[in-house]
Amino acid sequence: MDDPVATARGSDTWEPGDRVRDQDKFTPEHSYFRGFNLRKIIEQRRSTKRKFAWIGRACSRDQIDDWRDVMASIKAKARVAGALYVSASLIGLIRLLIIPSKLFVKGNATATADNIAAHESFFRLGIFTYLVAATLFIFVTLALYRLLRDVNRELAVLMVILGSLMVVPLFFADSVNDAGALMFARDTDFLSVFNKPQRDAFVMLFIRLHDNLTWANAFFWGIWLFPLAVLVYQSGFLPRLIGVWLFIAGMAWVGFSFTRIAAPEYDWVVDKVFNVASFGEILFMFWLLIRGANVKKQISAAATD
């Protein structure tokens, strides 16, 4: 009896590895299929697939539960960092913005000294809040390190160095300038050798020194945002747009520092774009405080994997 496979292929010789045309129909009665129960084989394969699918689903559920725990922890860390960030910024604004707008008179040393002497308690409060804000910023960088260290540990360490170890000492040094301005404004006994116009001039001198050290510190306010921006961009649980905006804010702070120190005649150029660019940092701190991390996106990605 002729082999039906060989006949179908139009050849007298046929090897088991040879292909058969799709249109060739065979039945279990043919000699090649004798001893094989195709239906049983198919059912066994389907049963095996169902078993492995069930195991895969069970593993996925465990993974999702683990992800929920991890992301809940990340969300809590993000909100702690946001709370510290917002607190440090709001407290620091008392000395950086409120006191200058209320007490300092541009180009008038006498009026400035008189305002500081008349509102001594308010000025002292500004010095104290400056120190508190500086101290809080240490914990801001540490909280951000806990949040982002698993993204890139080296960048997270660099962020802490630039954002706290370089910035905070300059904050504390700057408070000494305020203390000097206050002593000259109060007409302290051992300063009686100076007359009133001279003491007023020294008050303005210390205030100017404070401003210049602030502008120098603004350089570090900018460059610490560069590693932070990269970490946010790569994190996966924070919006990438915020990472881009933080990078732009860092460039704005560096430009602000450069123009105030090296090219004051061009400071108006930076001032026009500074507020818009620096808004990225404000958006970031309030995003951490209110939204935390994007938990749902990460859990969905884990379920897909």
Statement to judge: residues 25 and 170 lie in one domain: no
Statement to judge: residues 33 and 100 lie in one domain: no
Residue 59: HSE in the Cβ half-sphere, 13 Å Cα cutoff: 8
* H or E segment and range at residue 192: none
For 7-45, how does the pLDDT look when each residue is reduced to its tens digit (9 = 90+)?
444 444 444 444 444 444 444 444 444 444 555 555 655
Query: What is the b/e burial string over 70-103, where b = at least 16 CB atoms within 10 angstroms of the residue's CB?
Result: bbeebbebbbbbbebbbbbbebbebbeeebbeeb
Distance between CA atoms of residues 212 and 260, nearest Å: 8
Statement to judge: residues 40 and 173 lie in one domain: no
**Full residue range of the structural domain in which residue 234 is found:** 77-284
Q: Look up residue 33 and give its DSSP letter.
A: G
Statement to judge: residues 90 and 1 lie in one domain: no
User: Is 251 inside a domain boundary?
Assistant: yes
Inter-residue contact 164 to 138 (CB < 8 Å): yes
Domain count, the chain: 2
For 219-278, how does the pLDDT look when each residue is reduced to its tens digit (9 = 90+)?
999 999 999 999 999 998 899 999 999 999 999 899 989 999 998 888 777 777 777 778
Residues 6 or more apart whose Cβ sits within 8 Å of residue 120 = 182, 185, 186
